[in-house]
Amino acid sequence: MQYKSQAVAKPYFIAAIALFAGQILFGLIMGLQYVVGDFLFPAIPFNVARMVHTNLLIVWLLFGFMGGAYYLIPEETETELYSPKLALALFWIFLVAGALTIVGYLTVPYATLAQITGNDILETMGREFLEQPLITKVGIVVVALAFLFNISMTVLKGRKTAISLVLLMGLWGLAVMFLFSFYNPDNLVLDKFYWWWVVHLWVEGVWELILGALLAFVLIKVTGVDREVIEKWLYVIITLTLVTGIIGTGHHYFWIGTPGYWQWWGSIFSALEPIPFFAMTVFAFNMVNRRRREHPNKAATLWALGTGVMAFLGAGVWGFLHTLAPVNYYTHGTQITAAHGHMAFYGAYAMVVLCIISYAMPVLRGRAANPNKSQVLEMWSFWLMTVSMVFITLFLTAAGILQVWLQRFSDAPQAFMQVQDQVSLFYWMREWAGVVFLIGLIAYIASFFVKGEQEAAAA
């Protein structure tokens, strides 16, 4: 570890992995509820499990981004963090607030939770992914601003690299776009229109800046390729991201009451959205092929390459599959959307966080890389999780195609639940693929506890 204050990243990474495990457990519960509808009812209704599943995802990724920033920024800026104490305090505030929110979801009916947490003061709850009580949302803003203050002050006093500037833009963008979660008009169309300014402009906008910066940082470290080359690529990739992704928001404005011209803008620009992800894959492979050193951390290199490939498949290819308006007319809001969502989030964001953890955690534990046995187990977990996610996506896609055919496209369209019964085989297979994912996750966690002879190798 080059800078003492980088150590604050460690609790962030540990929390991220713990919450990730929680997310997967609730995913398995929901997957089972898809086929055994009354499983755990009424203790954990599907909507509660889903809220926990998606909110844990967002929170663990945020922990990963923040941990990644705390690790990366001192090295990039060549200076200690502005305030490691603030970083640790924010960790505990964010963790406790997040835990209380999840406990609230699970123990109190949602309507009661809304009432006791002041939803009547400003109604923001009950919208997909933004289910958090008002106090939690305010807490997120406060934590984000304090975090950004800490990071920005560090960058201001140190070396300003492209990687740290891009990361900073991504993180500021994340915080600024989240402010739209406080705007919830009675008019449903306006509500939905600006809801996407949080959701789409996060995941297909500013989050990709964070993704690019984290990936570029790891690639510099593990390949030893010249910074000028890597940072040039980074700028090209994020240019492509924002040029396609901002107007690409239009692919959500096809059927929610917005003007018809969005079908053109949204289709054309979002059809280009795979390009930055393709560039990212080419970038990662190119840099690894041109490597000037053999970094002992093979697992981190694997995660970096995997991020490029899976982000391209999940976000790029599976996004393109249903993004053109004439196709989306039939696929909108079906299991096709769910298939895309799963592989895109895993391939782009889960994997990049696991990548920075894979690179940074050994260093935080006082070694350049984990012992060989530990890395082998981590690489097993990589393949188990990644391959099972591919299968989850394929099964959901199959279910989605059948659903579209029976419910939307047919001359004699059938009712929703009637169709769901007919595609249940695919839901069962998805659930089993989910079990394999859990096994991969257990292997991943276990890899942190594997000891071996190389442990003496100093960082």
Partner 1 sequence: MSGTFTKSMARNVFYGGTVFFILLFLALTFDSMQTLPKRDNRQALTEQVAHGKKLWETNNCIGCHTLLGEGAYFAPELGNVYVRRGPDFIKAWIQSQPTGTPGRRQMPQFNFSDEELDALVAFLKYSSEIDTNNWPPNVEG
Q: Which residues of 372-400 are buried (b: 16+ CB within 10 A; e: fewer)?
A: eebbbbbbbbbebbbebbbbbbbbbbbbb
Residue 223 C-beta: closest distance to partner 1, Å: 16
- Per CB under 8 A, contacts with partner 1 among 140-169 are 162
Contact code string over 330-369 relative to partner 1, x by CB under 8 A: x-xxxx-xx-------------------------------
Cα 102 off chain centre by: 18
Rounded distance between C-alpha atoms, residue 210 and residue 352, angstroms = 9
Residue 367 C-beta: closest distance to partner 1, Å: 33
Closest alpha carbon to 169 in 83, 101, 234:
234
Applying CB under 8 A, among 5, 6, 101, 119 the residue interacting with partner 1 is: 119
User: Which DSSP state fits 324?
Assistant: S
- Per CB under 8 A, contacts with partner 1 among 262-281 are 262-263, 265
Applying CB under 8 A, among 20, 26, 34, 178 the residue interacting with partner 1 is: 34
Applying CB under 8 A, among 24, 87, 216, 242 the residue interacting with partner 1 is: 242
- Span near partner 1 by CB under 8 A; candidates 7-15, 144-152, 174-182, 232-240: 232-240
What 3-state class would DSSP assign to 104?
Answer: helix
> Is the Cβ–Cβ distance between 209 and 241 less than 8 Å?
yes
Asked if 111 is part of the footprint of partner 1 (rule: CB under 8 A), the reply reads: yes
Residue 4 C-beta: closest distance to partner 1, Å: 31
Closer to partner 1 by Cβ: residue 420 or 447: 420
Closer to partner 1 by Cβ: residue 101 or 375: 101
Asked if 125 is part of the footprint of partner 1 (rule: CB under 8 A), the reply reads: yes
Closer to partner 1 by Cβ: residue 44 or 146: 44
What 3-state class would DSSP assign to 257?
Answer: coil
Contact code string over 187-226 relative to partner 1, x by CB under 8 A: xxxx-xx---------------------------------
Rounded distance between C-alpha atoms, residue 65 and residue 173, angstroms = 13
Q: What is the dihedral of CA 295, 298, 300, 303, to 10 degrees?
A: 140
Helices (H), 158-273: 162-178, 188-201, 207-223, 227-248, 262-271
| Tokens read off for 75 | 């090295």
> Is the Cβ–Cβ distance between 192 and 138 less than 8 Å?
no
Residue 94 C-beta: closest distance to partner 1, Å: 23
> Is the Cβ–Cβ distance between 102 and 49 less than 8 Å?
no
Applying CB under 8 A, among 180, 182, 183, 235 the residue interacting with partner 1 is: 235
Asked if 45 is part of the footprint of partner 1 (rule: CB under 8 A), the reply reads: yes
Closest alpha carbon to 62 in 12, 23, 101, 11:
12
Applying CB under 8 A, among 149, 255, 293, 294 the residue interacting with partner 1 is: 255
Closest alpha carbon to 2 in 65, 52, 56, 73:
73
- Per CB under 8 A, contacts with partner 1 among 46-105 are 46-48, 50-51
Applying CB under 8 A, among 260, 289, 449, 456 the residue interacting with partner 1 is: 260
- Span near partner 1 by CB under 8 A; candidates 3-11, 61-69, 144-152, 326-334: 326-334
Q: What is the dihedral of CA 244, 215, 197, 396, to 10 degrees?
A: 90
Closer to partner 1 by Cβ: residue 414 or 454: 414
Residue 383 C-beta: closest distance to partner 1, Å: 28
Closer to partner 1 by Cβ: residue 95 or 229: 229
- Span near partner 1 by CB under 8 A; candidates 7-15, 250-258, 303-311, 371-379: 250-258
| Tokens read off for 156 | 């201001």
Residue 244 C-beta: closest distance to partner 1, Å: 9
- Span near partner 1 by CB under 8 A; candidates 31-39, 81-89, 96-104, 301-309: 31-39
Residue 306 C-beta: closest distance to partner 1, Å: 24
Residue 419 C-beta: closest distance to partner 1, Å: 8
Asked if 416 is part of the footprint of partner 1 (rule: CB under 8 A), the reply reads: yes
Rounded distance between C-alpha atoms, residue 49 and residue 187, angstroms = 28
Rounded distance between C-alpha atoms, residue 376 and residue 32, angstroms = 31
Asked if 36 is part of the footprint of partner 1 (rule: CB under 8 A), the reply reads: yes
> Is the Cβ–Cβ distance between 277 and 311 less than 8 Å?
yes
Cα distances (angstroms) measured from residue 372 to each of 289, 383, 453, 459: 22, 17, 8, 15
Residue 32 C-beta: closest distance to partner 1, Å: 11
| Tokens read off for 298 | 């093979």
